[in-house]
Amino acid sequence: MKLISGILIAVCFFYGNIQAQSVDTGNVTRDRKTISLGPAGQDAVSCDLRMERPFQIDVSRDGKERQFPFVYKFGKNIFVSYSEHPDKVLASPTDALMISRNNGKTWKKKIENKDFYITSMVKKSGILYAIVYFTYPVSKKEEKMIYWTSKDMGDNWEKHEGQVIGPDSLAFGTHRGIWGSMLFHRGMTVTKDGAIEGVMYGHIGKEKKYTTVLVRSTDNCATWNIVSVIAAGVPSDAFQKAEGYCEPTLIKVRDGSLLCVMRIGSYLPLFQSRSLDEGKTWSTPVALPGLSQVAAQSVCPELLLLKNGVLALTYGRPYDRLAFSKDGSGYEWDCSSISYPDETTGYSGIVESSPGEILQVSDQGRTGAKQMAIWGRFIKVMLRPARAVQ
């Protein structure tokens, strides 16, 4: 995961009833205790949420990291993948996956493997396909990627190697030492024609900043081709020090368009781009409409379209945050709230555990902390969708 520089910035303003949050140990108690944590920015509108207390999914007792989680759900099976290696580039690091078989109530199965930092997972024809974050360099036109498959809903996994093919017009850029120039991220889906499609980010072409691209595989993850460039460079002169468009999340939203939300830098606002033609072309990225820069910062967003049509977004740093778009498509973000005010990397993920209720997963602490943990919390979303966009 991207290197974290410096100590998390302290925020001087607190809103609502922000209290230090202890993370409960053991299985989920579901005692329905709720906590009000207030809006995420000085001029943000607080969301109508009912938050249960966070609980531990895995805690570090072996000196290894517990950070940067991703979460996936298939039926009552929920998977949380996360990093157990330090926040640096390593060859074939060992990382972990926790599995709940009862919709997040208990977490009894843990799997650890090398090359196992999974940042996307899809189910196709009864098989799980889990895609690893990093790539390995091969040439200016090819990078090796890793994916895993499971035919028994995650009890056993088989490792595979695939390839990412660059377009003729764009060569892969600077490698991250051992890792390749491009990284897989959130938002893989199975399309109507059976392809697997999602996003990557990294260095490609002559652009020195991060670039986010749409990628597609028609052979079950063995080969990936870059379909289009979603965003490259920085939004404006005001963000010249930004890292570029990275850590993307992609989803088909309520009006049928594709929406991609991206990081541009730590403690900087998120930006979004939209495609109205199934990913062939993309709009110029804009800051999240309706949210202030403070309310919309700063890393690793994930989009989730709830069953009732409300669009949810999790992100963080400082803290963990949630935002919601009642139009279901991100044309307007109506509210934003802090969901975890303690020390965290700000990386989080969400799934809909039951209609109108989400499970948010994040981490406690950061590299070097005395006790690091992966935690979850159930949150009831009381918002109702707005009239569909015409």
For residue range 73-114, list pLDDT tens digits in order: 999 999 999 999 989 999 999 999 999 999 999 999 999 999
Residue 145 CA neighbour count, 13 Å, CB half = 30
pLDDT value of residue 353 = 97
Using alpha carbons, select from 390, 259, 371 the residue that is nearest to residue 323.
259
Cβ-based neighbours of 11, under 8 Å, separated by 6 or more: 318, 319
For 239, the 3-state DSSP assignment is helix
- Are 301 and 322 in contact by the 8 Å Cβ rule? The answer is no
98-137 burial string, b = 16+ CB within 10 Å, else e? bbbbebbbebeeebebebbbbbbbbeeeeebbbbbbbbbb
Q: Give pTM, 2 decimals.
A: 0.91
pLDDT value of residue 371 = 82
Q: How many CB atoms lie within 10 A of CB 170?
A: 18
Question: Does the domain spanning 49-381 belong to CATH 2.120.10.10?
Answer: yes
pLDDT value of residue 41 = 61
Per-position DSSP letters for 314-347, written without gaps between them: EEESSSEEEEEETTSSSSS--EEEEEE-SS----
For 56, the 3-state DSSP assignment is strand
Handedness of CA 278, 211, 83, 30 (dihedral sign): negative
Which two structure tokens, joined as six digits, stand for 51?
Answer: 């938050």
Cα 338 to Cα 304: distance, rounded to the nearest angstrom:
17
- pLDDT tens for the chain, 390 residues long, are 544 433 333 333 233 333 334 455 444 544 444 555 667 665 567 899 999 999 999 999 888 899 999 999 999 999 999 999 989 999 999 999 999 999 999 999 999 999 999 999 999 999 999 999 999 999 999 999 999 999 999 999 999 999 999 988 889 987 778 999 999 999 999 999 999 999 999 999 999 999 999 999 999 999 999 999 999 999 998 899 999 999 999 999 999 999 999 999 999 999 999 999 999 999 999 999 999 999 999 999 999 999 999 999 999 999 999 999 999 999 999 999 999 999 999 999 999 999 999 999 999 987 767 789 999 999 999 999 997 654
